[in-house]
Structure 1
């Protein structure tokens, strides 16, 4: 499944919408990225997201805080951005550091600006299939499955990993689409993991262990989504041993990664339109 091609189309559509929004209102959609410290991976991710935003006609505002920033200081910064009418979306790059209460920081983001889908309100919306902003990686995965015509109703989906921003919301979104969902995680007995994997019609790998899932674990014809990433562009799935058993599979890189950023940009433009009171259906007419 080619995430790069679909992501490019989403970004191009978002750029056109942002341009029309700017023409009609004089306002450019703005995403504020908050970065605590100088973790090399986080710095790289934020730089890449900012570059993609600017290419799509979305203003990218970087708020860089020192590594010693306290939770209270971070919360105050995010509260200020939530109250700033010129900011339409807020992204807190994580991890923010072991001394930071990330949940407290996330919950400070105004729901209408939670374009990364990290608040409890957004999670509830995803779980109930209600309007709201999706967590970007699971949201991108769902778009990719739809693009390739993957039917989810009645299918057995297995999610390996249960992080608050990937595994858990991915499972909730699959459940909202009438799949039967099994979560596997660090406490799933190793002796049972393979049997769970082999029953999956749709497998979402989000565990963060390189080549953790191999071909012998895959049901023939399964759809495999590799949402993991390790140094050296290595995913959670051993691509070479899985690709001949799966009916569809996402590569690393070029699969889920581009979809995450495209979803973030699209949701920022959507958030700007909502805050400006512009109907996107009318805007695209």
Structure 2
């Protein structure tokens, strides 16, 4: 299996060469630089030559275009982006092909993702700040769920921050109208993991022995209860309304 993975990686290395700066796509978008690479896509920051503002153009890797399944995932992401209507989520503009490669365009969101803020810029969040950030994120998740869209990949790299405003990005693994409730449960579980990440930013790592978060972190009982239900240690949440109720109680306890 590791040999096959190595062969696949080598194949992608030679086939999936990012576009050079200065390349103009669809007679409108000038490539400035690569801002992200994923398992099936490459993200470029581009200058819109018609409006003079920045856009993000996502390309499906050439190596993935040989798979109908990967193309379908790319088209599904486009379909979901077209459904979004929130200032704190990507705005879709158009999809196009260029030299037989598949692309779509969305607005450029400035800022840093939570992963970079926590691990590189060493930003910390106390308990109240962590809960407030979760409250902002819950608003976005609730908006998605009301559209029967489930993100499926709520992680700190997919949350952007700019001037204390939170943005949710990367809908590559999202689903519309799933047949079961697993996607909703996954989103709620992921919210719990994000909250844990935030809470650990103020934890002094002096202990050599790894302990459960319930022993390592000193938290209000209301926050512990909220976390246990999000992480499905206690009865899992089934609605964002119930999460919000317990979240408000935890925030009140931290005043």
* TM-score by shorter chain over 0.5: no
TM-score bin, normalised by smaller chain: under 0.3
Q: Which has the higher contact order (CA 8 A, sep 6+)?
A: 1
Which is higher, the Rg of structure 1 or of structure 2?
Answer: 2
Greater share of strand residues, 1 or 2?
A: 2
